[in-house]
Structure 1
Amino acid sequence: MTTTAAASAPAAPRPKVRIPLWDNARWASVALVVIGHAIQRQTSDSDNALTLYLFIYAFHMPAFAIISGYFAKADPPTGRSMRRLIGDILVPYIVMQAIWTFVQWLVEGKNSFNPTQPHWTLWFLLALGIFRVVLPYLVQLRWPMLWAVLFAVGVGYFDNVDSTFSLSRAIGIAPFFLLGWYLRKWPIVDWWRRAGAGVVWGVRAGAVAVFGAWFAVVYVNITPFREFDLRYWFFYDDSFKGLGENEWWAGLLRLGLMLFAVLLSAAFFALIPRRETWFTAFGQATMYIYLLHSFVLYPIRETGILKDEHASATWLLTMVLASVAIAVVLASPLVQRVFRPIIEPRVDWLFVERDLRRPGPRRTDPMGSRRR
């Protein structure tokens, strides 16, 4: 009788096994975000800084969106998923927006709290929220990727779709989110994780060639790229008219840049280590790095010390190394303990129907990182 009862009892759920490839990719992509923001002030006085900036910006946010999309779910909305959306995205967004408003009031004398205009890095939180809301509906359509691309290209022709609630950027990078969601359904990731050494090194050699060619193109054409303001095309937050190209073919240019971003993102993922590394654990704290690094960089950027002679190659390398250090420190357990009430607030008290269950090891944040 005991044997029968034991046999009929449901098996305990297996703990979720983390995949080092994704933790490595998360940390590497957010480190590129920090580097891009750190050297931005140097780009006006340094061609070297602008070269590195364009090299990174061509793919780093699309790659970040692909990772976030990989861990997104297209299940019909439930009470729990809606509470998670509020607790994981909306509440941290409001809190961080309020903190940024206070900081800017102290430093710059600005006195306006406007939740419709996200401060600096906060646009990505809203884009994540919009994508999570739209995804279950989008995948009900035939050819969802086609529709996502059409919207991303077409939105550039409308001047009234702007950075309010980060709508223009959310629509512009939606195809990358969706591509990440598709990757979870396709066998390519599992194939890559199990690929032999010969295949891996062959693919990585191709990835190095792709990156090398892109860097050479940027380096050789840095002057026309600066005059064209190419970097603004990588932001997805302005209309084609606002970018200075109100011609019919502007949409084709955006489409080409999107396809190129996919190629560069593929090269980026190919170069990411598949096994555990010294930075694998840091990939479980990407939300902390992403939301907090701007406060570290803000005084450096606003004091103007990265202008003129401080835009030299030596200072550029210094900022790159400092950015890597920032991405390491902000992922530390101490920082997570101190800032968890802000980054991962417990807001069960906010809901009519409270979820009293403790979140298990399967809970992840919107970027796929582990939540405690």
Structure 2
Amino acid sequence: MSSTPQPGTSEGAPSRPRRRVPFWDNARYACIVLVVLGHAIQRLTYDSDIAMALYLSVYAFHMPAFAIIAGYFSKSAPPNRKQMSRVITDILLPYLIFEMLWTLTKWVFEGRAEPNLTQPSWTLWFLLALGIFRLVLPYLALLRWPLAWSVLISVGAGYLPNVDSTFSLSRTLGFLPFFVLGWWVREHDLVNRLRLIDFRPWWLRAVAVALFAGVGFVAWNWVATWKSIDLDTWFFYNDSYQALGADVWWSGAIRLLLIVVGFLLSLAFFALIPRGTYWWTTFGQYTMYVYLLHSFVLYPFRESGILRNAEPTWIWLPAVILLSIGIALLLATRPVRWVFRPLIEPRAAWLFSDTRLAETSRRDDPTGSRRRIER
């Protein structure tokens, strides 16, 4: 993939050698573990208040943080031919492949098959969201205050009942501010200028821990209230305000508040991510494998009912947390990647008039996790 000048460099300046920054791989892997965890404990939330409190705390920020990372590794320049072909091979083809797999899975185990490519199955909405993010970013980048426009789009979309889950449009527009924020931070080189990765005083980590502790306390102490207003569905950014039972003129303020909460918790999350290289750091390069495959692993647990009425919670919840971490580790390992690479990273040279568009020695997944970037 051709590269654009790094922030703070000119077109004519010699390119500096790039290297991986472990922080980003660590952050990506932590995010994907939280994704698996959120999906794994969902069935426990019906019967366990503490599971619901954990669920709400995770959903308040884990996808916003993922979108911020994806935005940070995205470019606002008009795409060249190679980048356009990557949208097909890295997003559209995996989407079609896994939609077909989900249709087959539901037909085999549930006796029903209703294929509908306009309605993404379970986790596949994020693939379409990444594609749409890439399409709209060059246009937003032309405007003044692109971040403000993205917030306005997100808040405004909730007032429109016809903006729904078709092609995951509602969720895409809902999470757009976080994606644009990631790009905006990279565009202004804030990570380098403000030393955001290196600056880790103890008090900053203490504030981050206190913030998460406060969110956990609020989620737990008023869990009955959050259940009564279906707060978990608000975090999905999937339904209109009317569908969420908040058909009033100021409903957008609720989403705006959730965006602020997601932003603050994402900052706290990044403040706690270790900067060094660990044995699991490399798994952060393969988050798309975990993202696309974990739902098939969790499917039997969710549909069999084994996680309903699972008591005592103090045994089942830690067990599910450990299971989530284990799944995230397993699905990023080399044997799993070798088996499923044709599905998740299809080359598809046959699809292009110019077969060179499918040639690459190293792929970049849609979140940019395989790209090298200087700190």
TM-score, L = length of structure 1:
0.93
Partner of 2:150: 148
| Aligned counterparts of 1:276 and 1:359: Cα–Cα separation in 2 | 26
Partner of 1:193: 197
User: 8 Å contact 1:65–1:173 — kept in the other structure?
Assistant: yes
Partner of 2:34: 32
| Aligned counterparts of 1:122 and 1:230: Cα–Cα separation in 2 | 22
Q: CA deviation at 1:360?
A: 4.3
Which amino acid in 2 is paired with 1:148?
S
Alpha-carbon displacement from aligned partner over 1:59-79 (angstroms, at most 9, x marks no partner): 000000001111111111322
| Aligned counterparts of 1:97 and 1:223: Cα–Cα separation in 2 | 36
Distance of aligned partners of 1:141 and 1:187 in 2 relative to their CA distance in 1, 3 Å threshold: closer
Alpha-carbon displacement from aligned partner over 1:81-119 (angstroms, at most 9, x marks no partner): 211111110000000000010000001111221110000
Partner of 2:369: 369
Is 1:327 aligned to residue 308 of structure 2?
no
Q: CA deviation at 1:356?
A: 5.8
Q: Unaligned regions of 5+ residues in structure 1, if any?
A: 1-10
Q: CA deviation at 1:136?
A: 0.8
Partner of 2:267: 266
Q: CA deviation at 1:145?
A: 1.1
Distance of aligned partners of 1:356 and 1:78 in 2 relative to their CA distance in 1, 3 Å threshold: closer
Q: CA deviation at 1:13?
A: 7.2
User: 8 Å contact 1:66–1:181 — kept in the other structure?
Assistant: yes
| Aligned counterparts of 2:269 and 2:15: Cα–Cα separation in 1 | 34
Is 1:114 aligned to residue 129 of structure 2?
no
Q: CA deviation at 1:353?
A: 2.2
Q: CA deviation at 1:313?
A: 2.4
Q: Name which one, 1 or 2, has greater alpha-carbon Rg.
A: 1
Which amino acid in 1 is paired with 2:163?
V
| Aligned counterparts of 2:209 and 2:282: Cα–Cα separation in 1 | 25
Alpha-carbon displacement from aligned partner over 1:217-272 (angstroms, at most 9, x marks no partner): 11111111111110000000100011011011110010011011100000000000
SS at match of 1:153: helix
Question: Percent of counterpart pairs with the same letter?
Answer: 55
User: 8 Å contact 1:45–1:311 — kept in the other structure?
Assistant: no
| Aligned counterparts of 1:15 and 1:21: Cα–Cα separation in 2 | 18
TM-score, L = length of structure 2:
0.92
User: 8 Å contact 2:129–2:169 — kept in the other structure?
Assistant: yes
User: 8 Å contact 2:349–2:359 — kept in the other structure?
Assistant: no
User: 8 Å contact 2:352–2:358 — kept in the other structure?
Assistant: no
Q: 159, 168, 189: which one pairs with 1:166? A: 168
Alpha-carbon displacement from aligned partner over 1:108-156 (angstroms, at most 9, x marks no partner): 1112211100000000000000000111111111111111111100010
Partner of 2:245: 244
Which amino acid in 2 is paired with 1:153?
V
SS at match of 2:243: coil
Partner of 2:294: 293
Distance of aligned partners of 1:206 and 1:108 in 2 relative to their CA distance in 1, 3 Å threshold: same
Is 1:45 aligned to residue 47 of structure 2?
yes
Which amino acid in 2 is paired with 1:369?
S
User: 8 Å contact 1:23–1:283 — kept in the other structure?
Assistant: yes
| Aligned counterparts of 1:82 and 1:226: Cα–Cα separation in 2 | 43
Distance of aligned partners of 1:261 and 1:358 in 2 relative to their CA distance in 1, 3 Å threshold: same
Distance of aligned partners of 1:330 and 1:340 in 2 relative to their CA distance in 1, 3 Å threshold: same
| Aligned counterparts of 2:96 and 2:247: Cα–Cα separation in 1 | 35
Which amino acid in 2 is paired with 1:365?
D
Is 1:306 aligned to residue 310 of structure 2?
no
User: 8 Å contact 1:70–1:184 — kept in the other structure?
Assistant: yes
How many residues are treated as equivalent by the alignment?
Answer: 359
Partner of 2:342: 341
| Structure with greater helix share of residues | 1
Partner of 1:207: 208
Q: CA deviation at 1:282?
A: 0.8
SS at match of 1:194: coil
SS at match of 2:278: coil
Q: Unaligned regions of 5+ residues in structure 2, if any?
A: 1-12
User: 8 Å contact 1:127–1:166 — kept in the other structure?
Assistant: yes
| Aligned counterparts of 2:84 and 2:248: Cα–Cα separation in 1 | 41
SS at match of 1:18: coil
Q: CA deviation at 1:357?
A: 7.4
Partner of 1:63: 65
